[in-house]
Amino acid sequence: MFKKSIVFITLICSLSACQKPVEYAQFYIFGTLVDITLADVDKVEAQQILAQVQQDLQQMHNDWHPWEPGMLVDINRAFAEGRCAPLDQKLKELIVASQTLEKQTGGSFNAGIGGLVSLWGFHTSDYPIHTPPPSTAAIDKWLQFQPSTQSVYFQGDSVCSSNPATQLDFGGIAKGYAVDLIVDKLKAAGVGAAIVNTGGDLRAYSQVERQYWHIAVRHPQQGLIGLIEITADDAVFTSGNYQRYVEHQGQRYAHILDPRTGRPVSDIVSVTVLASSGLQADAAATALMVAGLKGWHELSKSLQLEAVLVVDEAGKLYMTPAMDARLALYEPDEDEIAEVETNTEKTAKVGWEIEIVK
Ligand code: AMP
Ligand code: MG
């Protein structure tokens, strides 16, 4: 609902591959439509697997939700009151992963900024959001506390924070981690090929010969950029400032916040990261938005990311050589170019300015 889908997906089966039908389910979880497509699996078995996947995702949604009552809300309340709170293994892993990512990104990715996300009005299921931006004094006060996942520690089956201002918010990573957990489960259940797509952020794999996936990457402003072919196993995640924002007095404020300034990021419109895990792709896309046009390339190198696509406000594309190699640019024919004039939704804008950044 909040997220404009950046992809559409096709399963390509060459020759006699894909003999078994494709099974499909859709749920509304994590504030978005989740589509699961299974290939190379029996129908009855697929229905059982999909029902289990839906249950798992619903549990993750309940446990990790930043403002609906559940495990994470209890933990954040405990932190604010200087207490510890119980947690389960999955949430513990999510916290540990977030701590590592905060260090690796030099603080661009900080899952301890729940208080700031809330200050800016994003802890709501109502949309559109028109909350006025917080005052400079409120932002400065938040900055003074330096909330961070580094203040979080574990005591047996409980979690505590030495900083009462640290409030966990996994909005920048939860879908990536969820997708990885589901893919592990599907592989263990013997599903030969699948796509787990959470509102345009996805992981796809195929263990079946001559069967692969095509992911179409849309330009955030208009049209189609191209296709990524996934033959083995890859995650493709996009962060953008057009997906979820507060609109107040004609001004838009993006939901991705720079933990060092306490303010929304602005100069990149979207970042798409292709990586081997959903967790890495999801966190990296968010962190590169924060690093901005000046910093994204250096950060992507230090995170050892290979395939990255950035779109700036003018619609210009920046790509790493690995993304250039993976992304087959969409080149419309004459008729389609003519159609651009009349149907901007359906066809690509031609002639995006592209820079390959080595
Ligand atoms: P994504 O769409 O994956 O980039 O995630 C955006 C969400 O991550 C926001 O809605 C917030 O919940 C959270 N978030 C915002 N800024 C940051 C940040 N700098 N580090 C980590 N999480 C963030
Ligand atoms: Mg993310």
Establish if 118 belongs to a structural domain. no
Q: Which of 117, 147, 100, 148 is nearest to 280 (CA)?
A: 100
Choose the residue to mutate in 109, 110, 257 for probing ligand 1, maximizing ligand atoms within 8 Å of C-beta: 257
pLDDT digits (tens, 9 = 90+) for 72-124: 999 999 999 999 999 999 999 999 999 999 999 999 999 999 999 999 999 98
Other CB atoms closer than 10 Å to residue 235's CB: what's the count? Answer: 27
pLDDT at 260 > cutoff 80: yes
Q: Are residues 59 and 84 in the same domain?
A: no
C-alpha 275 – ligand 2 centre gap (Å): 12
Q: What is the rounded distance in angstroms from the CA atom of residue 195 to the CA atom of residue 202?
A: 7
Residue 291 in contact with ligand 1 by CB distance below 6 A = no
**How many structural domains does the chain have?**
2
C-alpha 280 – ligand 2 centre gap (Å): 9
Establish if 162 belongs to a structural domain. yes
Q: Are residues 81 and 60 in the same domain?
A: no
The percentage of residues in the chain with a pLDDT greater than 90, rounded to a whole number, is 71
Which ligand is the nearest neighbour of the Cα of 256? 1
- 102, 134, 169 - which closes a domain: 169
pLDDT at 273 > cutoff 90: yes
Atom from ligand 1 closest to the CA of residue 243: 2
Which amino acid type is present at position 226?
Answer: G
Of 3-12, 48-57, 70-79, 225-234, where does mean pLDDT reach its minimum?
3-12
Tokens of 276: 């081997």
Establish if 139 belongs to a structural domain. no
Q: What is the rounded distance in angstroms from the CA atom of residue 280 to the CA atom of residue 265?
A: 20
Choose the residue to mutate in 169, 280, 289 for probing ligand 1, maximizing ligand atoms within 8 Å of C-beta: 169
Identity of the highest mean pLDDT range in 161-170, 197-206, 220-229: 161-170
Choose the residue to mutate in 65, 103, 256 for probing ligand 1, maximizing ligand atoms within 8 Å of C-beta: 256
Other CB atoms closer than 10 Å to residue 63's CB: what's the count? Answer: 20
HEC letters along the chain: CCCCCCEEEEEEECCCCCCCCCEEEEEEECCEEEEEEEECCCHHHHHHHHHHHHHHHHHHHHHHCCCCCCHHHHHHHHHHCCCCEECCHHHHHHHHHHHHHHHHCCCCCCCCEHHHHHHCCCCCCCCCECCCCCCHHHHHHHHHHCCCHHHEEEECCEEEECCCCCECCCCCCHHHHHHHHHHHHHHHCCCCEEEEEECCEEEEEECCCCEEEEEEEECCCCCEEEEEEECCEEEEEEEECCCCEEEECCEEEECCEECCCCEECCCEEEEEEEECCHHHHHHHHHHHHHHHHHHHHHHHHHCCCCEEEEEECCCCEEECHHHHHHEEECCCCHHHHHHHCCCCCCCCCCCCCEEECC
Task: Give the model's confidence band at 11: pLDDT under 50 very low, under 70 low, under 90 confident, else very high.
Answer: low
Q: Are residues 151 and 197 in the same domain?
A: no
Q: Are residues 321 and 347 in the same domain?
A: yes
pLDDT digits (tens, 9 = 90+) for 217-251: 888 877 788 889 999 999 999 999 877 888 888 88
Query: pTM of the prediction?
Result: 0.93
Gyration radius of the chain over CA positions = 21
Of 127-131, 143-147, 255-259, 301-305, where does mean pLDDT reach its minimum?
127-131
Which amino acid type is present at position 49?
Answer: I
Q: Are residues 206 and 304 in the same domain?
A: yes
pLDDT value of position 224: 81
Establish if 123 belongs to a structural domain. no
Residue-number span of the structural domain to which 158 is assigned = 69-112+147-169
Which ligand is the nearest neighbour of the Cα of 280? 2
Q: Which of 4, 23, 345, 2 is nearest to 193 (CA)?
A: 23
pLDDT at 19 > cutoff 70: no
Q: Are residues 96 and 84 in the same domain?
A: yes
Establish if 21 belongs to a structural domain. yes
C-alpha 52 – ligand 1 centre gap (Å): 28
Give me the residue label for tokens 């962190």: 287
Identity of the highest mean pLDDT range in 12-16, 301-305, 351-355: 301-305
The percentage of residues in the chain with a pLDDT greater than 70, rounded to a whole number, is 89
Establish if 336 belongs to a structural domain. yes
Chain-centroid distance of CA 317 in Å reads 19
Of 21-35, 137-151, 182-196, 278-292, where does mean pLDDT reach its minimum?
21-35
C-alpha 17 – ligand 1 centre gap (Å): 39
321 compared with 250, residue with greater pLDDT: 321
